[in-house]
């Protein structure tokens, strides 16, 4: 059964690799529920010709314990929110969690030029819940912004969305999926 799940992940990854690079997307667009996950948000362009100066990511409710990777020349800020439903993490009750991560360039020489791409990385744990997980991203530029915040009314199809949020397809993993 695990072989089928891994094959499904590979198939999804290959399918997603055909997605347009004009959107902010996850480098690995599928993962097993109940496992740890390294999220790398790929930014392929600025706002028109304007360089990216800030990336703001809203962390979904079922993504636990988000820890961002610092970037040289970028100020890193995290915001926490009280949880409506606390969860257990190795015997410790978690009552608040990271709800937003912000990377902001500290000076113009660290801006991400429209001609370049980069990744903004964080890791955390996936709750044991399968289904689409949406990461809403606001990309601020020297002139303008891109609000990658649209999600479909149901499911995971982004057809017709002009500014789709980054999608992680969380796949059911079974009872032995807990990993670090």
Question: pLDDT tens-digit profile of 127-146?
Answer: 999 999 999 999 999 999 99
Q: Are 95 and 82 in contact (CB under 8 A)?
A: yes
Share of the chain above pLDDT 70, in %: 84
Q: Where are the domains of the chain?
A: 2-171
The pLDDT assigned to 173 comes to 83
d(CA 141, CA 176): 43
Per-residue pLDDT at 22 exceeds 80: no
Q: Are 12 and 25 in contact (CB under 8 A)?
A: no
Largest interatomic CA distance in the chain: 51
The pLDDT assigned to 13 comes to 42
pLDDT band, very low/low/confident/very high, at 23 (cuts 50, 70, 90): confident
The pLDDT assigned to 7 comes to 47
pLDDT band, very low/low/confident/very high, at 32 (cuts 50, 70, 90): very high
d(CA 174, CA 82): 29
pLDDT band, very low/low/confident/very high, at 176 (cuts 50, 70, 90): low
Q: Under CATH, what is the fold of the domain 2-171?
A: Immunoglobulin-like (2.60.40)
Question: pLDDT tens-digit profile of 61-120?
Answer: 999 999 999 999 999 999 999 999 999 988 999 999 999 999 999 999 999 999 999 999
- The pTM score is 0.85
Share of the chain above pLDDT 90, in %: 77
Structure tokens at 148: 């990658």
Q: Are 93 and 153 in contact (CB under 8 A)?
A: no
Question: pLDDT tens-digit profile of 152-170?
Answer: 999 899 889 999 999 999 9
């Amino acid at each position: 059964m695990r072989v089928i799940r891994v094959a499904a992940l590979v198939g999804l990854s290959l399918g997603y690799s055909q997605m347009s690079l004009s959107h902010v997307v996850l480098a690995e667009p599928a993962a097993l529920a109940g496992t740890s996950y390294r999220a790398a948000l790929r930014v392929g362009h600025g706002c028109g010709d304007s360089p990216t100066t800030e990336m703001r990511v809203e962390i979904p409710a079922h993504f636990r314990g988000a820890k961002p990777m610092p970037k040289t020349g970028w100020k890193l800020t995290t915001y926490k929110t009280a949880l409506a439903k606390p969860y257990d993490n190795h015997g410790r009750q978690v009552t608040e969690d990271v709800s937003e991560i912000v990377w902001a360039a500290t000076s113009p020489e660290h801006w991400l030029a429209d001609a370049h791409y980069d990744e903004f990385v964080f890791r955390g744990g996936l709750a044991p819940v399968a289904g689409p997980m949406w990461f809403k991203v606001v990309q601020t530029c020297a002139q303008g912004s891109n609000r990658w915040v649209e999600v479909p009314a149901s499911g995971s199809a982004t057809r017709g969305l002009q500014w789709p949020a980054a999608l992680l397809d969380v796949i059911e993993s079974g009872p032995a999926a807990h990993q670090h």
